[in-house]
């Protein structure tokens, strides 16, 4: 939980010479790339004063001979000790031999003693607010004081988005939705805080726990703090001061702070807004940049709060990181605007050597950026109350990667060129509200959809999961985004200068270029020891376990039908001779992705949020409750597929993996 950094120096290793590195990355020397190369060479002189040319150590890469396109088995010690499962498409959830999985909680399960029973045919907004929400994603784990014969914890769960055709039997198209349906949707998303208890080997939900809580898009009052609080662009008719908003939504990934609060991230918030503004409106350009403008589908068709023609500033009140104290159910959540506004995927944090908190964050859209926030003040590890305003003061940075393996963190600070009135920035509020536009001006590096960003407190490295980017064109490839029409994603490893998470410079290396290594046209790069099932596509969520091993879950969408496997969870080696080798541990039922993987503090339980089970895609064509791909987990006629959290344990109860 508490990612307190341990100092462990990475090995020193010389960065491969440029032609070798380009070869390794599989980059063709196109005319465009010659230009990129020239820029890189020009940049080298600048880098002399940066991490690249100083004593900062490079991450130990595999020798080039170990990276190949096709699996070749070599014998090297493994850190994952489970029997790998196979790729496949099927209706069941599969875990490695010697492990079992149980459904802990499903969409619609009660959180409170007086919650109505779930009834697919008579859902109401009120009943949904008493029940576990839809499409679970991030899971935070907060241990509670436990007795010798039992273990207690709170799970902090995101409910990312609603899927009306998979939720409501009385509609056939989203055009059939009424305001009541929309209200149920708004109540089904947000967050759940759930107490769980393990007696003997069985984890159970504690229905009616004083900590159980639903936070929704429809009813929860949430405060703003930080630079954008109270700014005129945050004000609406119902909140004329710009300090209070109803709800949070599109909560994708997140993080837990070292003091035990829960950060939940608002991702695709633009999807719920409808309407359009005229070109001369001040918000026209920002809303274009955030994909809010000129949308017909969304809650705004029936709920004027989400119609930008009726409630123009409402989109500025979403796209933030929200802090929730799971131990204080009566306290309002707080949207921490100092962390910037974009399509936030996750917010994993770590304490820098100085004691400052560093929060890593991706903006998950094609050609968007990687950010980090470094707090001004140091974390009080003894008194949580002293961290209450920690996320309100600090510096927000955006990343610029160089083709030579360098990394610069560029501060998004009002008043420093180019973030000045000349360019439309009149305060730090403008900078955080329009963080994407500020990052554009700073010439940050557009990435292949940054999903989770995972700081590894044991090694000082940071893993950036780039899921895919079919919008990347051949002329826009660079070393960190090495493929055009990238359908499969890659994982980039950052080493911050001087092993300091708060550093403003660093270096980067490619951990894996994902996809099928047996197909030359895919251009995948894995460790040569990889098995037929160890490779994956479209990394989404990552977690580091108690032993310091990285686990990666995937979200392929229709790419599953190319890779021949449902989404799942893989162990991924990051060190030594097996670096870049995946190993498949868990496979989801068809239609679902494995989100939010999280371990209990003792590493003996693994929680996985199975999102959108049975929900179809363009390839399957099965996108409705009337004809889902499957009805996991109940698999009963008439019972809908239900997003659920499963808990995985080893038969002998020992540590996983």
Binding stretches for ligand FEO (CB under 6 A): 160, 252, 267, 345, 364, 451, 540
Distances (CA, A) of 163 to 311, 316, 651: 24, 24, 35
3-state SS, residue 376 = strand
Q: How far apart are CA 398 and CA 336, in angstroms?
A: 17
3-state SS, residue 340 = coil
Question: Considering the complex, what minimum distance in angstroms separates the CB of residue 378 from Ca ion?
Answer: 30
Question: Considering the complex, what minimum distance in angstroms separates the CB of residue 248 from ligand FEO?
Answer: 14
Question: Considering the complex, what minimum distance in angstroms separates the CB of residue 469 from ligand FEO?
Answer: 12
Q: Is residue 555 a contact point for Ca ion (CB under 5 A)?
A: yes
Question: Considering the complex, what minimum distance in angstroms separates the CB of residue 594 from ligand FEO?
Answer: 12
| 268 vs 274 by CB, closer to Ca ion | 268
Question: Considering the complex, what minimum distance in angstroms separates the CB of residue 593 from ligand FEO?
Answer: 9
DSSP bridge pairs for 644: 106, 610
Question: Considering the complex, what minimum distance in angstroms separates the CB of residue 471 from Ca ion?
Answer: 18
| 363 vs 540 by CB, closer to Ca ion | 540
Q: Is residue 163 a contact point for Ca ion (CB under 5 A)?
A: no
Question: Considering the complex, what minimum distance in angstroms separates the CB of residue 364 from ligand FEO?
Answer: 3
Interacting partner of 348 out of Ca ion, ligand FEO, none (Cβ under 5 to 8 A depending on kind)? none
Interacting partner of 160 out of Ca ion, ligand FEO, none (Cβ under 5 to 8 A depending on kind)? ligand FEO
| 581 vs 612 by CB, closer to ligand FEO | 612
- Binding to Ca ion by CB under 5 A, coded x per residue (else -) over 201-240, reads ----------------------------------------
| 403 vs 623 by CB, closer to Ca ion | 623
Interacting partner of 516 out of ligand FEO, Ca ion, none (Cβ under 5 to 8 A depending on kind)? none
Q: How far apart are CA 71 and CA 428, in angstroms?
A: 51
What would the DSSP string read from start to end of 228-292? TTT-GGG--SS-TTS-EEE----EEEEEE-TTS-EEEEE-SGGGG-BB---TTSTTHHHHHHTT-
Question: Considering the complex, what minimum distance in angstroms separates the CB of residue 540 from ligand FEO?
Answer: 6
Stretch that binds Ca ion, among 225-233, 258-266, 391-399, 549-557 (CB under 5 A): 549-557
Stretch that binds Ca ion, among 8-16, 235-243, 552-560, 619-627 (CB under 5 A): 552-560
Q: Dihedral (C-alpha) 605, 606, 611, 615: value to the nearest 10 degrees?
A: -90
| 283 vs 345 by CB, closer to ligand FEO | 345
| 254 vs 260 by CB, closer to ligand FEO | 254
Q: Is residue 129 a contact point for Ca ion (CB under 5 A)?
A: no
Question: Considering the complex, what minimum distance in angstroms separates the CB of residue 565 from ligand FEO?
Answer: 19
| 493 vs 540 by CB, closer to Ca ion | 540
Which two three-digit tokens encode residue 390? Answer: 């920690």
Residue closest to Ca ion, measured at CB: 555
Q: Is residue 368 a contact point for Ca ion (CB under 5 A)?
A: no
| 363 vs 499 by CB, closer to ligand FEO | 363
Burial class (CB in 10 A: 0-12, 13-18, 19+), 377: middle
Question: Considering the complex, what minimum distance in angstroms separates the CB of residue 252 from Ca ion?
Answer: 5
Q: Is residue 252 a contact point for Ca ion (CB under 5 A)?
A: yes
| 540 vs 623 by CB, closer to Ca ion | 540
| 345 vs 392 by CB, closer to ligand FEO | 345
Q: How far apart are CA 241 and CA 236, in angstroms?
A: 8
Stretch that binds Ca ion, among 39-47, 115-123, 251-259, 622-630 (CB under 5 A): 251-259
Is the alpha carbon torsion for 167, 170, 173, 176 positive or negative?
A: negative
Stretch that binds Ca ion, among 274-282, 505-513, 550-558, 575-583 (CB under 5 A): 550-558
| 205 vs 453 by CB, closer to ligand FEO | 453
| 80 vs 290 by CB, closer to ligand FEO | 290
Question: Considering the complex, what minimum distance in angstroms separates the CB of residue 489 from Ca ion?
Answer: 12
Contact at 8 Å (CB) between 264 and 214?
no
Q: Where are the alpha helices (DSSP H) in 138-249?
A: 164-167, 179-188
Question: Considering the complex, what minimum distance in angstroms separates the CB of residue 173 from ligand FEO?
Answer: 24
DSSP state of 312: T
Please name the residues in contact with 29: beta carbons below 8 A apart, sequence gap of 6 or more: 22, 37
Q: Dihedral (C-alpha) 126, 129, 135, 141: value to the nearest 10 degrees?
A: -170
Which two three-digit tokens encode residue 88? Answer: 């496949």
SS (H, E, C) 396-458: EEEEEECCCCEEEEEECCCCCCCCCHHHCCCCHHHHHHCHHHHHHHCCCCCEECEEEEEEECC
- For 372, list phi and psi in degrees, rounded to 5: -145, 150
Question: Considering the complex, what minimum distance in angstroms separates the CB of residue 589 from ligand FEO?
Answer: 19
Q: Is residue 540 a contact point for Ca ion (CB under 5 A)?
A: yes
DSSP state of 344: B
Which two three-digit tokens encode residue 46? Answer: 């600048």
Q: Is residue 36 a contact point for Ca ion (CB under 5 A)?
A: no
Interacting partner of 283 out of ligand FEO, Ca ion, none (Cβ under 5 to 8 A depending on kind)? none
Q: How far apart are CA 581 and CA 574, in angstroms?
A: 8
Interacting partner of 267 out of Ca ion, ligand FEO, none (Cβ under 5 to 8 A depending on kind)? ligand FEO
Interacting partner of 478 out of Ca ion, ligand FEO, none (Cβ under 5 to 8 A depending on kind)? none
Q: Is residue 195 a contact point for Ca ion (CB under 5 A)?
A: no
Question: Considering the complex, what minimum distance in angstroms separates the CB of residue 302 from ligand FEO?
Answer: 24
Please name the residues in contact with 384: beta carbons below 8 A apart, sequence gap of 6 or more: 259, 260, 261
Interacting partner of 500 out of Ca ion, ligand FEO, none (Cβ under 5 to 8 A depending on kind)? none
Question: Considering the complex, what minimum distance in angstroms separates the CB of residue 267 from Ca ion?
Answer: 7
Q: What would you report as the CA-atom Rg of the chain, rounded to the nearest whole angstrom?
A: 24
| 465 vs 648 by CB, closer to Ca ion | 465
* Angle at which helices 31-47 and 18-25 cross, to 10°: 130
What is the helix (H) or strand (E) element at residue 14, kind and residue range?
none
Q: How far apart are CA 306 and CA 162, in angstroms?
A: 15
| 213 vs 343 by CB, closer to ligand FEO | 343
Stretch that binds Ca ion, among 183-191, 248-256, 468-476, 624-632 (CB under 5 A): 248-256
| 403 vs 540 by CB, closer to Ca ion | 540
Interacting partner of 266 out of ligand FEO, Ca ion, none (Cβ under 5 to 8 A depending on kind)? none
3-state SS, residue 609 = strand
- For 480, list phi and psi in degrees, rounded to 5: -85, -20
Size of the chain in residues: 657
Q: How far apart are CA 635 and CA 616, in angstroms?
A: 16
Strands (E), 545-629: 550-554, 568-572, 582-587, 593-599, 605-611
Binding residues (CB under 5 A) for Ca ion: these are 252, 540, 555
């Amino acid at each position: 939980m508490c990612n307190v950094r341990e100092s462990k120096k990475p090995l020193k290793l010389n960065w491969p010479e440029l032609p070798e590195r380009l070869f390794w990355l599989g980059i063709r020397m196109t005319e465009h790339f010659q230009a990129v190369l020239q820029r890189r060479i020009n940049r080298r002189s600048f880098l002399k004063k940066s991490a690249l040319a100083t004593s900062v150590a490079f991450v130990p890469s595999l020798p080039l001979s170990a990276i190949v396109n096709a699996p070749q088995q070599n014998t090297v010690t493994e850190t994952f000790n489970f029997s790998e499962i196979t790729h496949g498409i099927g209706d069941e959830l599969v875990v490695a031999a010697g492990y079992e999985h149980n459904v802990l909680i499903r969409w619609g399960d009660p959180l409170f003693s007086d919650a109505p029973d779930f009834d697919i045919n008579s859902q109401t907004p009120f009943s949904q607010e008493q029940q576990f929400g839809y499409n679970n994603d991030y899971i935070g784990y907060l241990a509670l004081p436990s007795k010798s014969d039992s273990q207690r914890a709170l799970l902090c769960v995101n409910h990312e988005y609603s899927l009306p055709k998979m939720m409501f039997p009385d509609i056939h198209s989203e055009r059939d939705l009424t305001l009541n349906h929309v209200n149920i949707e708004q109540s089904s998303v947000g967050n759940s805080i759930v107490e769980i208890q393990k007696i003997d080997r069985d984890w159970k939900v504690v229905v009616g726990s004083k900590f159980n809580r639903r936070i929704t898009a429809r009813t929860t009052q949430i405060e703003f703090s930080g630079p954008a609080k109270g700014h005129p662009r945050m004000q609406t008719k119902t909140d004329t001061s710009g300090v209070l908003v109803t709800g949070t939504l599109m909560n994708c990934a997140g993080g837990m702070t070292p003091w035990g609060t829960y950060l939940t991230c608002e991702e695709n918030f633009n999807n719920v807004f409808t309407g359009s503004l005229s070109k001369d409106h001040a918000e026209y350009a920002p809303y274009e940049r955030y994909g809010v403008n000129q949308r017909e589908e969304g809650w705004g068709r029936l709920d004027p709060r989400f119609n930008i023609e009726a409630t123009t500033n409402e989109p500025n009140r979403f796209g933030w990181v929200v802090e929730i104290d799971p131990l204080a159910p009566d306290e309002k959540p707080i949207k921490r605007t100092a962390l910037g506004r974009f399509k936030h995927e996750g917010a994993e944090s770590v304490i820098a050597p100085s004691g400052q908190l560093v929060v890593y964050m991706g903006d998950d859209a094609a050609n968007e950026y990687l950010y980090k926030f470094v707090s001004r003040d140091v974390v009080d590890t003894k008194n949580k109350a002293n961290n209450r305003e920690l996320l309100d003061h600090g510096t927000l940075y955006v990343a610029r990667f160089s083709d030579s393996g360098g990394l610069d963190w560029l501060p998004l600070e009002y008043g420093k060129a180019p973030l000045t009135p000349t360019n439309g920035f009149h305060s730090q509020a403008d900078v955080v509200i329009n963080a994407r536009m500020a990052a554009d001006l700073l010439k940050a590096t557009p990435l292949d959809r940054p999903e989770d960003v995972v700081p590894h407190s044991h090694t000082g490295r940071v893993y950036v999961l780039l899921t895919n980017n079919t919008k990347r064109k051949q002329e826009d490839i660079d070393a960190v985004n090495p493929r055009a029409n990238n359908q499969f994603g890659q994982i980039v490893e950052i080493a911050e200068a001087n092993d300091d998470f708060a550093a403003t410079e660093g270096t980067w290396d490619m951990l894996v270029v994902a996809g099928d290594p047996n197909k030359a046209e895919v251009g995948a790069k894995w460790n040569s020891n990889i098995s037929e099932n160890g490779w994956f596509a479209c990394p989404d969520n990552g977690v580091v376990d108690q032993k310091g091993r990285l686990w990666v879950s995937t979200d392929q969408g229709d790419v599953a039908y190319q890779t021949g496997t449902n989404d799942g969870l893989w162990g991924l080696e990051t060190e030594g001779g097996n670096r870049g080798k995946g190993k498949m541990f868990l496979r989801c039922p068809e239609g679902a992705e494995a989100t939010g993987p999280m371990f209990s503090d003792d590493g003996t339980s693994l929680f996985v949020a199975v999102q959108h089970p049975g929900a179809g895609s363009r390839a399957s064509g099965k996108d409705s409750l009337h004809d889902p791909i499957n009805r996991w987990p109940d698999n009963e006629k008439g019972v809908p597929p239900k997003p659920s959290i499963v808990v995985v344990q080893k038969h002998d109860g020992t540590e996983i993996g």
